[in-house]
Chains A and B, each alone.
Chain A
Amino acid sequence: MAKKKTFPRGVHPEENKEFTSHKPLEVMPSPEKVFIPLLQHFGAPAIPLVKKGDEVLLGQKIGEGKAVFSAHVHSSVSGTVAAVEDIIHPNGYPVLAVVINNDGQDRPSPEIKPCSNPLTLTAEEIRQKVREAGIVGLGGAAFPTAVKLSPPKDKPIDTLIINGCECEPYLTADHRLMLEFPEEIVRGAELARRAVGANRIIFGIEDNKPDAAQSLERHLNGFPAEIVLLKTKYPQGAEKNLIYALLHREVPRGGLPFDVGVLVQNVGTAKAIWEACALGKPLIERAITVTGPMIREPKNLLVRIGTPLANIIAYCGGLVDHARLIILGGPMMGLAQSLLDVPIIKGSSGLVALKEAYLEGEFPCIRCSRCVDHCPMGLVPTQIVKFIQFEKWPEAESWGALDCVECGCCQYICPSKIRLVHWIRLGKNYLIKLKRKKSPS
């Protein structure tokens, strides 16, 4: 057998996907009340279009993303607006949100118009529909997809990569999507390919999901697409590493994938693109994995955007009593939550409940070089952290602090349990602030 494609370095955390990998996606009933933040994406917040007391329909646009880097927000239920107020965002800060009392009838908005033959749409029409549907990258970073589908003219895109790696431990939602919605994913990918004018599609899937690859394979007929199995290794699904693994192209430092003629989309995003174009359906629900040893009945769910975590946990049988750590996203990059009334947003890929966080002390760095040997970006985390701790900003930058993708490999592997990613995040924030000060543009 030929050697599986992969990227250099990286780690192999315990996968723990067996909790949910065999469980079909279940549609979770919509909750009595949804909390829909107006900022669920990378960029500027959307501007609210409704006020307290207004009646809203399923899929109605309730927030408009006016800026280029923004996205529309839609109601995920039908009912009346209870409030437009600040709530706690999963990232931990207050954000303006529309709170809607659900009437349970799911009366669809007249804005939702199906299209009989989406494969005849032009690139501009596809972009328009994607923008209207408020689609953002569903892999986690939540970058507005319409922006991604409009690359600059001088950087032609030749390859579209659909990311089905799902390298985060525990998570299986993308896996289930590929098994249950292969046709939608392939067609959505085809639409994205047409929108950017690429000439081929590559599906990158880790070799722990051969069934997902087979499922997609059956629907590839007639499309310029191929499936490539990749070695199971974290972070195989990180954009820059995935591009390197599949094409041996390196995204330049500080650059974006279109600098090397590539566009990367998550499988969930591909499905959403298809639904937006074919059914006119905006992004109002997403697939998440609710799992972890502290969840009584781990499940893969299709949930409405804005559903509070408490409802989801209750639907999955509740928590085992001594759960101490609830993570939105995967355990390697997800955010620990302190309150269970924060809602699911577009970028949430999973909900993992663990027994205990690692809170014990750190040992001194013994320069074992494991962080260097495992950093997928080729950085020297221990040295960067030292520069940041001693506030040597120019050195920290020239050693690549801003190239860090915060994948967590270094902190995972560190035998001295040093909070490397934590420090690098701190340093990155400070460096970005410094840069803004220097160039006020």
Chain B
Amino acid sequence: MKDDLKDKAKSRELSLIIESSPHIRDKDTTPKIMYRVIISLMPAVATSFYFFRWRAILLILISTASAMITEVLCLMARRRTLKTVLDGSAAITGLLLALTLPPSLPPAMAAIGASVAISLGKQVYGGLGHNIFNPALVGRAFLQAAFPVAMTTWIPPVTLKVDVATYATPLGNLKFQNAIALGTLTPLKDLFWGNVGGCIGETSAAALLIGAIYLILKKTIDWRIPAGIILSLSAFTTVFWLINPDRYAPPLFHLFAGGLIIGAFFMATDMVTSPITRAGIWLYACGIGLIIGVIRLFGGLPEGVMYSILLMNTFVPLFNHYLRPRILGERRPKK
């Protein structure tokens, strides 16, 4: 009996941990995912510096800092641990927002936008994981509504060496200046490399695609979302282009112009605000692509990426609820 007690004492000394299974975990963590997204945006940050110089860097720094400060203030107000500021999610929101701002925007407005993005886009719902809308896009939508003039005033990239105060984006050119008839549609090469007017981070499709490929290879974002958006938008624009090429721009133009690449690969793929099931993901992605097409071709605005993603965000809880995958062995009643 004494031996028994000794054994018991020994195992107490070991102070073994009781935890329910599984006892091993994958190495990937939420902060790692967040920082991977930030890294993947670095090529876009670099090209924004190349095309718009210090204005771009200033906007990015101010926006990111404002997002993180707002996160701290909200967490303090909500009496939550401040550690989660470092999980990178606030920084992503600030960075993504900055990349979708026009280069001539006053930095104070960027700060307001980032602050609204975090407070009204994320923290009012209960913080990370609870928001319905993509926070960066909430911030951008707020800025668009609050400062409509500043948000639609564009300057040419420094590399173009044109001396004009304002300059139309390729999509604005298409919509308001009859670019197809005049033959001034922006060439695809410029669109791809980013040598055009537009938001600081979304002009260069090449830089964004480098980051996007990295994220897809790391399985951080779901390739189905950008694929669905690109396919549906291409299909939609191809149909109209074939009907009347004198009036509608070719599909490749639509893919590389405006915020489509950054929207499809970085905004729509935000995990929190995209569906969790395969069927939901396809529906969500195709919905975004189609709404972008409708807005760009027939709407009053030249660009529709932001509103279409926000609109489809509202459907995500519905998709998650009604499109659950089939359980192994489940027989669904035939209708």
Contact = CB atoms under 8 A, between A and B. Distances in A.
In-complex A–B contact (CB below 8 Å)? yes
Interface of A: 11, 13-14, 92, 169, 240-241, 244, 250-253, 255, 308, 310, 319, 323-327, 329, 331-341, 352, 354, 356-359, 363-369, 372, 376-380, 382-383, 399-400, 403, 406, 408, 411-417, 419, 421-422, 425
A180 B271 CA distance: 49
Nearest to B326: A378
Contacts of A250: 328-329
Interface stretch (B22-30, B60-68, B248-256): B22-30
Interface stretch (B8-16, B203-211, B238-246): B8-16
B272 A363 contact: no
B327 A253 contact: yes
Given A255-B329, A363-B128, A368 B33 contact: yes
Interface of B: 4, 7-8, 10-11, 14-26, 28-33, 84, 87, 127-130, 222, 271-272, 274-277, 281, 320, 324-331
Contacts of B16: 324-326, 336-339
A191 B30 CA distance: 51
A354 B129 CA distance: 32
A359 B276 contact: no
Residue picked from A333, A366, A414, most chain B C-beta under 10 Å:
A366
- 7 closest cross-chain pairs (CB), A and B: A408-B22, A364-B129, A369-B276, A363-B30, A357-B17, A368-B271, A250-B329
Contact of B17 (A336, A382, A413): A336
A252 B24 CA distance: 30
A417 B10 CA distance: 31
Contacts of B11: 310, 338-341
Nearest to B32: A415
B309 to A, nearest CB: 16
Nearest to B30: A363
7 contacts: A324-B16, A331-B23, A339-B16, A340-B11, A341-B7, A366-B272, A367-B274
Contacts of A415: 26, 28-30, 32-33
Contact of A363 (B10, B25, B31, B326): B31
Tell me the interface secondary structure of chain A in the complex.
Answer: loop
A335 B21 contact: yes
Nearest to A368: B271
A341 B4 CA distance: 8
A321 B8 CA distance: 17
A376 B19 CA distance: 23
Nearest to B4: A341
Given A326-B16, A367-B272, A331 B22 contact: yes
Nearest to A241: B328
Contacts, number: 183
Contacts of A310: 7, 10-11
B277 A369 contact: yes
Contacts of B26: 11, 13, 412-415
Contact of A364 (B127, B276, B281, B331): B127
B8 A341 contact: yes
B328 A244 contact: yes
Contacts of B30: 363-364, 366, 368, 415-417
A323 B329 CA distance: 41
Contacts of B25: 358, 411-412, 414, 417
A372 B276 contact: yes
A403 B84 CA distance: 34
Given A331-B22, A369-B222, 13 more contacts: A11-B26, A255-B329, A325-B17, A326-B16, A333-B22, A341-B8, A358-B24, A365-B129, A366-B271, A367-B272, A378-B327, A378-B328, A415-B28
Contacts of B28: 413, 415
A338 to B, nearest CB: 5
Contacts of B329: 240, 250-253, 255, 403
A212 B128 CA distance: 48
A336 to B, nearest CB: 5
B196 to A, nearest CB: 34
A258 to B, nearest CB: 13
Nearest to B325: A378
Task: Tell me which of B18, B128, B275 has the highest count of chain A C-beta atoms within 10 A of its own C-beta.
Answer: B18
B327 A333 contact: no
B33 A323 contact: no
A5 to B, nearest CB: 16
Contacts of B17: 324-325, 336, 356-357, 359
Contacts of B15: 324
